[in-house]
Structure 1
């Protein structure tokens, strides 16, 4: 995949922070990090809940939404489709109209969730025409497994530029339902994209997974939320076959959990600085897969307290290495682990994450390049990397318009003077206030830019 050096300014929403800031420098703070924080709502749950409530009949209240670029473009698209959505703080009031959506031209930014969840929902609308445009980085992420499955079920979809990629043109159609098989090897979101729409198909839909699912937990998140909104769905425990009967969503008042992926950066910050961080409102019982990072932190010598209403992590004076780990089910944290692994007492090998080469950037190549720039020895594999212990030097690092690259590399600045990152505003895709929070926790943040 071609690496992005320039960001796509159109994809940044009004909720973007750091507008006009071209470079940020992260350096260690002077005091031990000790804090209790409350993380914004789950990105994964926010866009699922917004789309399901928009399809539902009646008024839903969704509390604890994440206000980020991804959720902004989801809300804007739904408004253009004629769904009445009002925001008060972190609560969205959604007046669902049963999928009777208006014709519109839609822009979805870089949001993988909308790119994979919206086409099925549109296909299930019996009338209307839509053009779906995406950001430059989203145009490079394949969407064929989803589109092929939807076409098989009756959807009318055309590619407007390059086959198998955004932008798309769609027409409302009679989605007959029936049997369909698709792959989850590139992204579990393709499966969720069919599942979310299937209650609005004419007949029972049976989804068979023909190979593997890279992250099972996200499919379970989809199924659980569908059931909360009143869908009639059954699955086997292995998620090899899922059956959805035609029964539309009902309006629902729902409180979303904090985002476990975002929480992990702050837990990692405590781990790597021998600090202490408590995350309020998130527990080990969440089904968000990145919660599995708690076991990784413990393996590295950290003390984790699993409370009934919180999670707390206390770091170690010296992180432990010398292990090999599959990050397949929590691959969003692969870069987080890579960034702190260099401070461990032995090498850390991360495996089974080939699919993250197809995200906003080729994340394996990008993190290896950054670590090499820092003077750290690293080995790159087709499906992962091996990070050796070392003392990083100051460097100016590219974020490749990738929020997870920027957030992970910033952690290195908690132990190393002068870690400079270009285009720090890319974090607004999922966590606009990330650098402000790091500064509040005591890290030294210096901004340079046009303003």
Structure 2
């Protein structure tokens, strides 16, 4: 689906209900499979969470999670613990290019029976579930926090619990802390000191309900729209000041770009600051929140603010190589941009080239990050329905704050 995007009024006003966090939902879904007395409310309605739900409920021995990277990592660990069950876990062609060897090796150390169906180190995987001993294991911490979270989520069901040592610089620490906090919330004891995490065996928890906070990554596109508008006030629900999500750093980042945020009950209210003096450039280390890099880069280009974004090494193994994709598409729009394997450098410029078609590379965040730029220039978004991976209501919500999208 190719959509032509514009915003006639250049002003954004509205109140939106944002779906639950995909990251929290998928963690809680796995925990619910381990602890059936756990009830979940405000679950994400994303494709990824539907893929996770289906995989946990199906009796099929072939499980295809398509593009859902989080589900691939979490389910690899989960099915390794399912004694007596043998499955093949696979995904899209891109998923079969995304490495998983680090996690598989760590699971093998604690007793898992996992083999590769095609290429060594990559899905599809054949997993023969068994009772895992657990115990002591180490894991490189600078590749993907999802590997770490996958181990932490199954840790209470291991015979000897888990004593995990993280090696090297820790990537996306807030996602590890989210996993530990959710374990704590349901009643599992954890200990995180230095680079060592210990979780004891705990097969039983009390029956309970957990409410998922709305997704901050989804909120990022509304922060961007407010920043790029002439005037704006957008209310989003449901959010907490003590959020577990690393992307809540959006509040501080967009304050530099003329957006104020205030909490009222479980809502956040975003407002455009009039006559705001924008900085000439900003420097951000996004190692703890890499998923918002695309949104920030596009916002800065639209505002004519230079940016240097670092800590982005994990973006190369996402749905696409997001750094190369950003370089390609922003250059197409007239930007002066340079990327490395772990950083992005954008010069201050508003040399907009109108009516360009933005490729999305089967990446939901590429599609959504570029839409707010319609407040500055008309353009097209290719494969626009890819947004359902994380934010199925995206187009409806953008229309509610004044964006128009016409199918070409």
TM-score range, shorter chain: over 0.9
Aligned to 1:377: 336
C-alpha contact (below 8 Å) 1:215/1:329 kept by paired residues: yes
| 2:32 is the alignment partner of 1:53 | yes
Say if 1:346 and 1:79 are closer, same or farther in 2 by CA, change over 3 A: closer
Residue by residue over 1:102-128, the C-alpha shift from the partner in whole angstroms, topping out at 9 and shown as x without a partner, is x72211121111111112111112211
Aligned to 2:104: 147
User: Partners of 1:30 and 1:412 in 2: how far apart?
Assistant: 13
| 2:3 is the alignment partner of 1:24 | yes
Residue by residue over 1:60-114, the C-alpha shift from the partner in whole angstroms, topping out at 9 and shown as x without a partner, is 3211011121011111111114xxxxxxxxxxxxxxxxxxxxx722111211111
TM-score, with structure 1 as normaliser: 0.86
User: Partners of 1:180 and 1:432 in 2: how far apart?
Assistant: 38
Shift of 1:275: 1.5
Match of 2:392 among 423, 428, 432: 432
Match of 1:227 among 157, 174, 184: 184
**Counterpart secondary structure, 1:164:** coil
**Counterpart secondary structure, 1:279:** strand
**Counterpart secondary structure, 1:213:** coil
User: Partners of 1:416 and 1:159 in 2: how far apart?
Assistant: 47
- The Cα RMSD (Å) is 1.6
**Counterpart secondary structure, 1:62:** strand
The answer for unaligned runs of 5 or more in structure 2 is: none
Residue by residue over 1:268-304, the C-alpha shift from the partner in whole angstroms, topping out at 9 and shown as x without a partner, is 1111114221223213321200110111111123223
Match of 2:223 among 264, 267, 288: 267
| 2:240 is the alignment partner of 1:280 | no
1:110-121 equivalences in 2 (<5 Å): 110-121=67-78
TM-score, with structure 2 as normaliser: 0.95
Aligned to 1:411: 372
C-alpha contact (below 8 Å) 2:25/2:49 kept by paired residues: yes
| 2:144 is the alignment partner of 1:169 | no
The answer for unaligned runs of 5 or more in structure 1 is: 1-21, 82-102
Shift of 1:321: 3.6
User: Partners of 1:143 and 1:249 in 2: how far apart?
Assistant: 30
C-alpha contact (below 8 Å) 2:284/2:309 kept by paired residues: yes
User: Partners of 2:188 and 2:114 in 1: how far apart?
Assistant: 25
Runs (4+) off by over 3 Å? 316-321
Give the length in aligned residue pairs. 402
Aligned to 2:201: 246
Segment of structure 1 superposing worse, 143-152 or 221-230: 221-230
Match of 1:397 among 345, 352, 358: 358
C-alpha contact (below 8 Å) 1:232/1:246 kept by paired residues: no
**Counterpart secondary structure, 2:11:** coil
Shift of 1:249: 4.7
Shift of 1:441: 1.2
C-alpha contact (below 8 Å) 1:53/1:249 kept by paired residues: no
1:81-160 equivalences in 2 (<5 Å): 81=59, 104-160=61-117
Shift of 1:31: 5.4
Say if 1:142 and 1:344 are closer, same or farther in 2 by CA, change over 3 A: same
Residue by residue over 1:337-377, the C-alpha shift from the partner in whole angstroms, topping out at 9 and shown as x without a partner, is 00010133441111111211110011011011101100111
Aligned to 1:3: none
1:1-40 equivalences in 2 (<5 Å): 22-30=1-9, 32-40=11-19
Shift of 1:398: 0.6
Residue by residue over 1:369-391, the C-alpha shift from the partner in whole angstroms, topping out at 9 and shown as x without a partner, is 10110011112223111222213
User: Partners of 1:311 and 1:224 in 2: how far apart?
Assistant: 22
Shift of 1:308: 4.4
**Counterpart secondary structure, 1:161:** coil
Aligned to 1:299: 256
User: Partners of 1:158 and 1:252 in 2: how far apart?
Assistant: 36
Segment of structure 1 superposing worse, 303-312 or 399-408: 303-312
